[in-house]
Amino acid sequence: MSNTWLPTLITDTPEEGYQLAIKMSRMGVKYTQPSDEVRDKLRPQYAESADSLIAVSQVVATNFQTVAAANNYWKA
Amino acid sequence: MSNTWLPTLITDTPEEGYQLAIKMSRMGVKYTQPSDEVRDKLRPQYAESADSLIAVSQVVATNFQTVAAANNYWKA
Amino acid sequence: MSNTWLPTLITDTPEEGYQLAIKMSRMGVKYTQPSDEVRDKLRPQYAESADSLIAVSQVVATNFQTVAAANNYWKA
Amino acid sequence: MSNTWLPTLITDTPEEGYQLAIKMSRMGVKYTQPSDEVRDKLRPQYAESADSLIAVSQVVATNFQTVAAANNYWKA
Amino acid sequence: MSNTWLPTLITDTPEEGYQLAIKMSRMGVKYTQPSDEVRDKLRPQYAESADSLIAVSQVVATNFQTVAAANNYWKA
Amino acid sequence: MSNTWLPTLITDTPEEGYQLAIKMSRMGVKYTQPSDEVRDKLRPQYAESADSLIAVSQVVATNFQTVAAANNYWKA
């Protein structure tokens, strides 16, 4: 895993911050299950389950808290 | 996904902040499952399950924490 | 949903803050499942399940964190 | 529910703060299920389930975060 | 439960802070299920279940957040 | 468990901070289930389950919040 996927927590806009939070959430899975093949095979398990999708949104919400604080909530 | 759905975390009132937190929570699902059709099909799974509805409220509570901090808790 | 259910996060006492956190937690469910009838029908599902009741208390704890911070922990 | 169960978040020691967090966690359940009889009946459901006990500890940890911040971590 | 198990949140090192977070997490279970015998009987339920072990780590992470903030992240 | 696995929360980059959060998350499991053999046996349980992988990412997100705050979000 090269040193580039998370060079900074700073983003220009809240939406870019939210997309970074999504990337961080996915990396939490990728570090634990590095096989693209296995993760692809698992997609139907979570992408078609309401509870799994809610749990994903919870992880994103937690990571977005971190990114938003890092960016001082994008207040000028 | 255009750059407009989250231009800012700042809202005029706590209730608008709560509604933004709901929107953020739903976007966490939408980014993961972009198909409106699939998400609509899943609605009965969560909208008629107490545990799923509680889990949704947990995601909203986490996102509302972020929005409330961004707005300095709407204190003048 | 009119603008009145969450006019402020400020309360006079910690207990009123805790009751506001409960109201916020319930609104997270109500925004997702607006039907009073469905929500009433679901009550036995969570009100007689230890795990569901624990999950509710988790949502309240998260919302109370927000309310307590907003009120500077009711320190004079 | 009288106004007295949570007069303040301030405690003399971290252990009293932890006990307050436990009380807050239990009140989250009591507000949702006010029947002592039902809650007693549910005790075996959670008191003899590892996952339920872990979930209870999560609620206490979240409430203790709030109490500890309120007490400035009991630093002189 | 004497007043001694949590005299302070201050530790010398992050690792001691992490061990305190583990102790706090276990006490959350112990306060709820005081019987050593029952807790021992439950060990296989969580110690040999991936999901339970992940949930334990979540409780520890939440308590460690509190301890780390109390110690100003052990920054000189 | 020697005193070395967590000498500091300070890292040079956000990515190293994220890797520390992963290590902290794994240690939460290791402290609870010290047997390498049992933990290896459990790997298929979580590494091939979408919900377990999401739950792991949640623990990492919580620990990363702590590490990011410790590093002042790696802002110069």
Residue E32 CA to residue E40 CA, distance in Å, equals 14
Task: Read off the amino acid at residue C55.
Answer: A
B4 confidence band (pLDDT: 50, 70, 90): confident
Tell me the three-class secondary structure of chain F, residue by residue: CCCCCCCCCCCCCHHHHHHHHHHHHHHHHHHHCCCHHHHHHHHHHHHCCHHHHHHHHHHHHHHHHHHHHHCHHHCC
Q: Answer yes or no: is B43 within a domain.
A: yes
> For the packed helices B14-32 and A50-70, what is the interaxial angle rounded to 10 degrees?
120
Q: Answer yes or no: is F50 within a domain.
A: yes
Contact present, B55 and C62 (Cβ < 8 Å): no
pLDDT score recorded for residue A4: 78
Q: Answer yes or no: is B3 within a domain.
A: no
Ranges of chain A with pLDDT below 70 = 1-3
Segment A44-65, tens digit of pLDDT: 999 999 999 999 999 999 999 9
Residues on chain C touching B74 (C-beta within 8 angstroms): 8-9, 70
Segment F48-75, tens digit of pLDDT: 999 999 999 999 999 999 999 999 999 9
Is residue B15 predicted with pLDDT exceeding 90? yes
Sign of the C-alpha dihedral, residues C28, C33, C37, C41?
negative
Structure tokens at D70: 């309120």
Taking the CA of residue A15 and the nearest CA in chain F, the distance in Å comes to: 18
Compute the average pLDDT of residues B48-63.
Answer: 98
Number of compact structural domains in chain E: 1
pLDDT score recorded for residue F4: 78
Residue that wins the pLDDT comparison between C74 and C3: C74
Q: Answer yes or no: is E68 within a domain.
A: yes
Taking the CA of residue D33 and the nearest CA in chain E, the distance in Å comes to: 18
Q: Answer yes or no: is F55 within a domain.
A: yes
Contact A52 F51 (CB under 8 A): yes
Q: Answer yes or no: is E3 within a domain.
A: no
Domain carrying residue B41: 14-74
pLDDT score recorded for residue E4: 79
Q: Answer yes or no: is A6 within a domain.
A: no
pLDDT score recorded for residue C62: 98
Q: Answer yes or no: is E69 within a domain.
A: yes
Residues on chain E touching D47 (C-beta within 8 angstroms): 32-33, 38
